[in-house]
Every structure is written in C-alpha cells, then in structure tokens.
Structure 1
Amino acid sequence: MFGREWAAGDGAIAGCRFGEVVITDPVVTARSGSGRHPFPSPGSSSWIEGSVFSLGTADLAARR
C-alpha cells in the first residue's frame, strides 16, 4: 500500500458483524467472480477481526 510495506497490528470493529449483499450486475459479478459480497453490518454483541494500519498525514499527502 502506498508503495511500501506496512506493519500491521491486530484490531477489531466492535458492534459489527459481516452481512452479505447480493449483486446482480453482470459486469460486477464478472470482475469479482461472485454475486455475493460481504460488508460490515451493525451487530451489537459481535465484532469483525482484522488488521490495523497506521497512516499519517504525510503518508496520505505522498499519495496525491
């Protein structure tokens, strides 16, 4: 990402779970290879585990 390796830490989004949306647009399904796509959805006692990357203003400015 942004032309270099990034250190990642463990993280989670509390109060969310993965939902699923069905996409029927043939262009989208041809590009992604699937008609079903996950998205975060509210779920009070759930969480989505993943990775956290720290980006600073200088990192974002360098991308422009």
Structure 2
Amino acid sequence: MPEPEADPEREPETDWQRRRRLAAIFGDVLPDTTRDERDAGSAGEVRKDSASDAWLKAQVPPHHGG
C-alpha cells in the first residue's frame, strides 16, 4: 500500500501530538515505567506470593540467607 502524500500546508506534528494520536488509535500499550522501576506499593499494586512461591522460598537452605 503506497504511503499517503504529505500535505505541504500541514505543519509537522510534535512528539507529544504523535504519541497522543497513536494512543487514540492503538491505546496505551506499554507503561512509561516497568514494574521493577516503580516502588513496591505504587499505584495500589498489591503483590501476594502464590502457594508455589511460598513453598519455593521455604526450600532455600539457611546458608543462602533465605
């Protein structure tokens, strides 16, 4: 599919305008920060270990500082 011709009278869009236009079309796919970059309790995030995580942590030998 050929790309549409650019309108010579239209001003080029800024980065924030482009991001806003793409977000309107595709939604906010990726957050600005990843989970490991945020504080543990930020944004109401509650993390609870599953039973398998708890079991795995209980299996750590004492000399590993579990």
TM-score range, shorter chain: under 0.3
Q: Judging by fraction of residues, say which structure has more strand.
A: 1
- Of structures 1 and 2, the one with the larger relative CO (CA 8 A, separation 6+) is 1
Q: Judging by fraction of residues, say which structure has more helix.
A: 2
Larger Rg belongs to: 2
